[in-house]
Structures are given as C-alpha cells and as structure tokens.
Structure 1
Amino acid sequence: MPITHSTHVTYPRGEVTGRSTVVATVPVEDRHGTIVAETPFHPLDHTWPDQPADAGTIAGLVVTDCVTGAVAEDGETVHLGDDIPVRRGTPGWHWLVVHVTAEPVAGGPGTEVELAVDAANRRALSAGHTACHLAALALNAALAGRWRKEARADGLGHPDFDQTAIVSSRILPGGSRDVYRLGKSLRRKGFVVEGLTDELPEIARRVGDRLKEWVAADAPVRVDAPGPELTARRTWHCGLPEAEVSIPCGGTHLSRTSELGAVAVTLELSADGSELTMLTTVG
C-alpha cells in the first residue's frame, strides 16, 4: 500500500493515547516497524536527537523504539533515521513516525490499532525539556556581562549564549545535559572566557535563583503548531514575568512552570577549558 500522507502527531497538545489506522509496515533490522495515520508517540529526531523517543505500546505490543522515517511521494522505500537522504521537511517527501516492535502488529495495513504512550515517562521527559529551556534562558542572563561585542539576543533581551555555543543537548527523565563549546569562534563573537572557572559557582547561583523565581511564578507553557504533520514547525512559549518567550522546539512539555517543583543546575568546565556542561535536574 503506497504511503500518501505524512504522519499526523498529537503529542504537541499533550496526548498520550490514540486509535489510528495502520498505513504501512516496514522491516527495521530484525524487528518490525509500523506506520499509522496519526500517533501520540514522540519519535527520536535524527537531525537533533535531544529528546528520546516515547515508550509505550501499539496494538498491545511493547514499542521498543520510535524513529523518524521518510518516503518520496513517488517512491516506495521508507528511509529511517540517519539513512534519510534529504533534509527534514524537504518538499516531495512524506515524513513518518515508525513504531518499532519485536513482533509484527497483527492485521497489517488497514487495521485499526490502539496506541498508548507511557504517561509517567512522557511526563518526566516533558519536565526535563521545560527545565532545559528555562535553564538556558537563565544561563544567558547570568553570562550577559561576559560579552564585549553585541550578540544575537534571546527572547528576554540577553545575549544568546545557549544558541551561539551549544554543541549538544540531551533531555533526560527529569533533567537535561547541555554541552557548550568555548572555542575560538565564540571568542571572536565577543564572549570572554578568561576567569570563567573562578566565577562558575556564582554563575550557577544566579542561574538557580532565577529558576526558582520562574518556578514560583507559575508561568504558563504551551506548544504552538501550524499543523498536525510531523514536520510542522512547532514553537515553545512561556509567559515569564519579564516577557513571553518563544523558542522553536519539537519536543514535549509541561503546562506550567510550577509543575517542575524545583530545578537545580550544575556547571562544569572540561579539564582543558574548551567545553562547559550544564546539568539540569528537576525535583
């Protein structure tokens, strides 16, 4: 059966269950991949794999992985993850969520199946992702005095250290790990690295204090999507006391900052001083 549409996703609005029709099945090494018309599952994005795939079940079978797939409109081969030969959202391609199971889903294409995401795991990842964005904004504010040149600003008007220096971001259940490169490129853009080691404890304290204020503010959080397709460009919004902030984001989130309870941040410099790692923990 040819695939004629991109997968529609409901996770941006917080859905964790659904019922949909199987569109196609594909082999995934020694396992089985199932594509449905609409899913609540958040897949791993191979282009920026910050948030892990949702866990859960499809047709009662345990979903061992959930990955992004793509197929050309005039083709039949479903490419998975790193094997996708085009950029995400390239016109002329359908973008898919592939649910991977050890056993095949009974019935095949045309069968209606129940989908259920592990709600506790989803909530833990959502908490980690919301805290990650807030920690990045707080870090930008705490490092604002270290710029000697004008830099691109974040949604609160501070130089955007996070987006300028980030190398990798990984969302964890109840936290995140973000790594920043403190190399020549960042220095040329005006960031002052000298003395950072001695100032790290004070920077971490300022980040923590700001996060505490934002959690106490019970600020609303939402994800806006222009459409239901997997590749729709979704945006995270948070109504902080200073201003409403918007950040492009394809992940899942809590609905208010107060749901985080508490957020702690640890800052670590690598032995050679070339990287700064921020560990964020919720609870």
Structure 2
Amino acid sequence: MPLPTTDTTVTYPDGATTSTGTVLHVEPLSDGRSAVLLDTTAFHPVDTAWPDQPADRGTITTTAGTQPVVDGLTGGIRDGELHLGADLPVRTGTEGWTFVVAHIIAGPPPAVGESAQIDVDQNYRAALSAAHTACHLAALALDSALSTAWSKPAPTDALGNPAFDALAIQRSRIDAHRSTDIYRIGKSLRRKGFAPTSLDNLSAVAERVNAQLTQWIKAGGAVRIERDDPALSARRTWVCELANGRTNIPCGGTHIHDLAELSDINTSLITAEIDGGLELTMETVSATS
C-alpha cells in the first residue's frame, strides 16, 4: 500500500486533544502491532532527536471500534520506506523526507481510507504540558541564578543571561508534573568561562531559582506555540510572556496556555562527581491550580 508523500498535519501544538483524520497507510510491525498513519492528528509522538516528552496516551476510533494507541512515534519516509522511532536516521525536517506521526496499535488495524478519530487522555496531556512549561522556566531561572559564574562572554538565553542550560545539558526527561534535567560541567564548559565553584553552595543556587520561579508564577503570562505551518516537520517555538522578557525557544512539545495555570514550581539540585568534572541534576516539580 502506498506511503504518504506529505507530512502529517498536527494539531497538538495548539492544544487540541481530539481530531478526525483519514487513514493513509497501515504498516505491520514485527511484534504483531501496527503503525497507523493519518493525514491529521492531535496525538503527540515522541521526537527522535530530542525525546524529552513522552507520547500522549489515548484511543483511536474507527468502524471497527475503539482501541488504545499504545505508543506514538515519529516516522520518516524516503524511497518508499518507512523508518520509525529509533530507526529514523535523520532529524525531523531533513530535506527530501516526509515526516509522519505513527499511531501504534495492538488490535485489528483499520482500512486505508477510513475515517479515524483520535482522543487524547486530557489529564495526562495537561500534566505533561504543565511539566514542560515548568521545565523551560526552571532552565531560564537556573541560567539567571548562575549568571555571575562566567569569566568570559558566553552565548545567551532568551532572556539575555549566559545560557548554562543550553551549553551544559546532557539529558532531559518530562513526566507528569515533573521533569529531570542532567548537566555536565567538564573541561569544555570550564574553557568557556564557567566556574564550577559557583555550585559549591547548591542550596543558595536553588533558593535563587525557586525565588525567580515564584515571581514568574505570581506575575502570570501568556504561553503559546508559534508556527508558520501545521506540518509535523515545521519549526515550532515556545513563547512565554514573562514579566522581565519574552521567550522564543524552539520546542516540539506541548504546553499550558498561561502561567496562571501553575500554582507552584519547585526545583531541587544535586551534584555528583564524574570522570572529568561534575554532573548536576535538576528536578522540577510543578502543580496546577
């Protein structure tokens, strides 16, 4: 059966949790499951290049009935072949590829041409969206808290502070109302002018981070994803209207609509010695009103 030649239209960046699309292709998988490709979906898949936010949870409804979507993967198509998830060898948006959302199901697959309704678990999406917004805010607050730790000019973040987060991040994971960011402070960062001694008093750094987060929540501010195209591969930007500046951060995840939806964000910091330097872990827990 032919594969799509245009990207999946995605509606989750606008906050949609339900959509109706047409089945374009069904790919049998080796484990007995199937990957269902639709022309339009509200289902957020895992991004292969930066898999920080997990896939949505939800269901797909066709004439055969309703069944769970057990996973959502980003797929890429080239030369008549579909590459899914970790097997996708290029970043989303690479020229010459078609990028699709693959809805993984374990039950009987629908027929090509059928109409399919996607319904996303709204509570789980909301918890991930709150955590993702809080994660970005915590990164900006950490940059601010460490702004005096640099002895050389460094690239700056969306608010004009030295971009510790962007320069040191190794891994990031979004969970329901929680995120974990792991940073490496090694020779490369020290050569850029960062002083590891700035982390000697971690409790003081965490206090500055949390104080900034409290100020931002109290002030409120609109949050949105800006994009010029509804295609999966289109560039998307997280924009947040903070009291002390407007952010513009590339992001493919989902977010809340206003900081007023958050009742609390709290971060904790720990360090561990690793070969050649330090590893800093930031845990961020969010709560909604």
Task: Measure the CA separation in 2 of the matches of 1:28 and 1:176.
Answer: 31
Please give the secondary structure, in 1, of the residue aligned with 2:55. coil
Give the aligned partner of residue 275 of structure 1: 279
Shifted more, 81-90 versus 6-15: the winner is 81-90
In the alignment, structure 1 residue 178 sits paired with structure 2 residue 181: yes
Aligned residues of 2:73 and 2:84 also touching (Cα < 8 A): yes
Kindly provide the CA deviation profile for residues 159-196 of structure 1, in whole angstroms up to 9, marking residues without a partner as x.
Answer: 01000100011111102100000000000000000252
Give the aligned partner of residue 108 of structure 2: 104
Shift of 1:76: 2.3
Give the aligned partner of residue 5 of structure 1: 6
Task: Measure the CA separation in 1 of the matches of 2:151 and 2:173.
Answer: 30
* Letter matched to residue 82 of structure 2: V
Give the aligned partner of residue 131 of structure 1: 134
Kindly provide the CA deviation profile for residues 10-64 of structure 1, in whole angstroms up to 9, marking residues without a partner as x.
Answer: 0000000011100000123321110000000110011110000001001111011
User: 1:90-239 to 2 correspondence within 5 Å?
Assistant: 90-106=94-110, 108-194=111-197, 196-197=199-200, 199-239=201-241
In the alignment, structure 1 residue 64 sits paired with structure 2 residue 70: yes
Task: Measure the CA separation in 2 of the matches of 1:165 and 1:86.
Answer: 23
Task: Measure the CA separation in 2 of the matches of 1:47 and 1:191.
Answer: 27
Task: Measure the CA separation in 1 of the matches of 2:228 and 2:29.
Answer: 31
Please give the secondary structure, in 1, of the residue aligned with 2:248. strand
Give the aligned partner of residue 57 of structure 2: 55
Task: Measure the CA separation in 1 of the matches of 2:91 and 2:179.
Answer: 26
Aligned residues of 1:28 and 1:100 also touching (Cα < 8 A): no
Please give the secondary structure, in 1, of the residue aligned with 2:284. strand
Q: TM-score, structure 1 length as denominator?
A: 0.96
- CA-based RMSD of the aligned residues comes to 1.1
Task: Measure the CA separation in 1 of the matches of 2:169 and 2:29.
Answer: 32
Aligned residues of 2:266 and 2:284 also touching (Cα < 8 A): yes
Instruction: Note closer, same or farther for the CA distance 1:195–1:252 as it changes in structure 2 (3 Å cut).
Output: closer
Instruction: Work out the number of aligned pairs and report it.
Output: 279
Task: Measure the CA separation in 2 of the matches of 1:4 and 1:110.
Answer: 15
Task: Measure the CA separation in 1 of the matches of 2:256 and 2:49.
Answer: 23
Aligned residues of 1:61 and 1:105 also touching (Cα < 8 A): no
Please give the secondary structure, in 1, of the residue aligned with 2:51. coil
Shift of 1:156: 1.3
- Structure 2 gaps of 5+ residues are none
Aligned residues of 2:24 and 2:38 also touching (Cα < 8 A): yes
Please list every run of at least 4 consecutive aligned residues from structure 1 whose deviation after the TM superposition is greater than 6 angstroms: none
- Structure 1 gaps of 5+ residues are none
Give the aligned partner of residue 80 of structure 1: 84
